[in-house]
Amino acid sequence: MAKKVSVDVDAPILWPMCCARCGVNEGLTSSRVSIGSVRSVGPSPFGVQITSTMAMLDYPVCHAHATGLGFAGIVTRRTLLFRFLRGFIYFIAILGVPVFLMMAARAVGVASTPHNAQPSPMVFIAMFAAGIAAAAYLVHAFRALPVRLVGQSSDTVTIRFGNDAYAVKFIAQNRKSLREVPWWKKFVV
């Protein structure tokens, strides 16, 4: 079970000097996670003004687990743009599985095409295949990140740890800067 911890934004954060995924002490490197939120949207003399904030944290991981975390950290950001892109990718993937299977079966001759139908354009087959592959990568990216920022307020950042032993070490080192996670935030993924 993943642990969630809320940390004061202004307090210094001390990370345990071991890999956040496996706990190894040698060959550590730094990986970054971030979260963004829109604070306000309003009119301005030049159009619409959007005020947003971004919180970033660097945590230690070993070289074996650091590969791919940079891109995984970007695509799993909790910003409006990336949420929209993830939703679009999931939509294409869910729609694309049956459509891709049928179009691919027709393209190779396994399924018969209607009498007056044109052959399936390879562009559509490639688009649905890319959507399915992107959705599979997103699922992998969410599971690969040992540390994720899952919440942000004006004075706290909520961190989700995939490794419970690492979370216990983090809590022990940062007792003074911890905040209580509200009960309703503990159930949000």
Per-residue confidence (pLDDT) for residue 115, from 0 to 100: 61
Q: pTM of whole model > 0.85?
A: no
Give the C-alpha separation, 185 to 189, whole Å: 9
The residue range of the domain holding 149 is 3-185
Nearest C-alpha neighbor of 21 from the set 143, 162, 172: 162
| Count of the separate structural domains present in the chain | 1
What's the pLDDT at 47? 80
pLDDT at position 169 = 92
For the chain (189 residues), the mean pLDDT of every run of 10, in chain order, is 79 88 86 73 79 79 83 78 86 84 77 64 80 88 84 81 89 85 59
